[in-house]
Amino acid sequence: MTTLAPKPMRASRISIAQLMQPEHANPAGNVHGGYIMKLVDECGALACMRHAARRVVTVAIDRMTFRQPIKIGDLVILSAEVTYVGRTSLEAAVHVEAENPISGEKTHTNTAYLVYVAIGEDGLPVEVPPLLAENAEEREKLAAGQARQRQRLEQK
Ligand SMILES: CC(C)(COP(=O)(O)OP(=O)(O)OC[C@H]1O[C@@H](n2cnc3c(N)ncnc32)[C@H](O)[C@@H]1OP(=O)(O)O)[C@@H](O)C(=O)NCCC(=O)NCCS
């Protein structure tokens, strides 16, 4: 059953990891950026589904900048958490790292912010539980999420 009791930010945290295989390559032999975008979208959605206990749809993706190429054979580790909720919308921050599984070297390749809307059985937006920030770091994340969402809606 879905309740609207507040839920802590930490409860939404999720990590997924995937080994980059030859089928994920672009013509230059590195990983295709579009494939990473798909994983980012999925990981953010999982964090939001955890929070909302509902199906969610992506409504907005902020700019995505790839700081470093990801290589075939790297393990891509995506970590997401909910950083803001409105009435029906949720923002997820997704942090992407590439790990060389042999050397253990890890590179932070990008962080992205995405907005999802929780959807009911009828496909319409539904209310989500409030987000609890439990310490100073989480309160900062929540304030930054609120500011980003304000900007998005101003630019809409
Ligand atoms: C998501 C969707 C159901 C929202 O419907 P809507 O009629 O725009 O609903 P609303 O205007 O009530 O917006 C719902 C929430 O999304 C937020 N929102 C809408 N557009 C937004 C945008 N561009 N950026 C950030 N938030 C946005 C609203 O602020 C609102 O948040 P709140 O309830 O927390 O205040 C509808 O836009 C949709 O179905 N989009 C397609 C989603 C999809 O298929 N995604 C996959 C792409 S293939």
Taking only the tens place, the pLDDT of each residue in 68-77 is: 899 999 999 9
Beta carbon of 125 within 6 Å of any ligand 1 atom: yes
pLDDT surpasses 90 at 147: yes
**Number of other CB atoms surrounding residue 140 within 10 Å:** 12
Beta bridge partners of 14: 80
Burial of 105 (0-12, 13-18, 19+ CB in 10 A): exposed
Domain ranges of the chain: 7-155
Compute CA 95 distance to the chain's CA centroid, rounded to the nearest angstrom. 7
For ligand 1, whether the C-beta of 146 sits within 6 Å is: no
115 Cβ closer than 6 Å to some ligand 1 atom: yes
Each residue's pLDDT tens digit, 101-137: 999 999 999 999 999 999 999 999 999 999 999 999 9
Residue of 83, 117, 154 best suited for mutating to test ligand 1, as the one with most atoms within 8 Å of CB: 117
* pLDDT, the chain, mean: 96
Higher pLDDT, 3 or 50: 50
Nearest atom (ligand 1) to Cα of 119: 3
pLDDT above 70 (res 1): no
pTM of the predicted model as reported, rounded to 2 decimal places: 0.96
Q: Which of 40, 54, 59 to mutate to test the pocket of ligand 1 (most atoms within 8 A of CB)?
A: 59
Shortest-distance atom of ligand 1 to CA 58 = 45
Show the DSSP H helices in the chain as ranges.
Answer: 33-52, 136-155
CB 45 within 8 A of CB 116: yes
Pick the CATH number of 7-155 from 3.10.129.10, 3.40.30.10, 3.30.420.10, 3.30.70.20: 3.10.129.10
The tens digit of pLDDT for each residue in 12-53 reads: 999 999 999 999 999 999 999 999 999 999 999 999 999 999
Q: Is the dihedral of CA 75, 81, 83, 89 positive or negative?
A: positive
Q: How confident is the model at residue 3 (pLDDT cuts 50, 70, 90)?
A: confident
Across the chain, the runs of DSSP E, i.e. the strands, are: 7-8, 14-19, 55-61, 75-85, 89-99, 106-119, 131-132
Q: What's the confidence (pLDDT) of residue 109? A: 94
Please list, in sequence order, all residues whose beta carbon lies within 8 angstroms of the beta carbon of residue 84, skipping any fewer than 6 positions away: 90, 91, 131, 142, 145, 146, 148, 149
User: For residue 9, which phi and psi values (nearest 5 degrees)?
Assistant: -55, -40
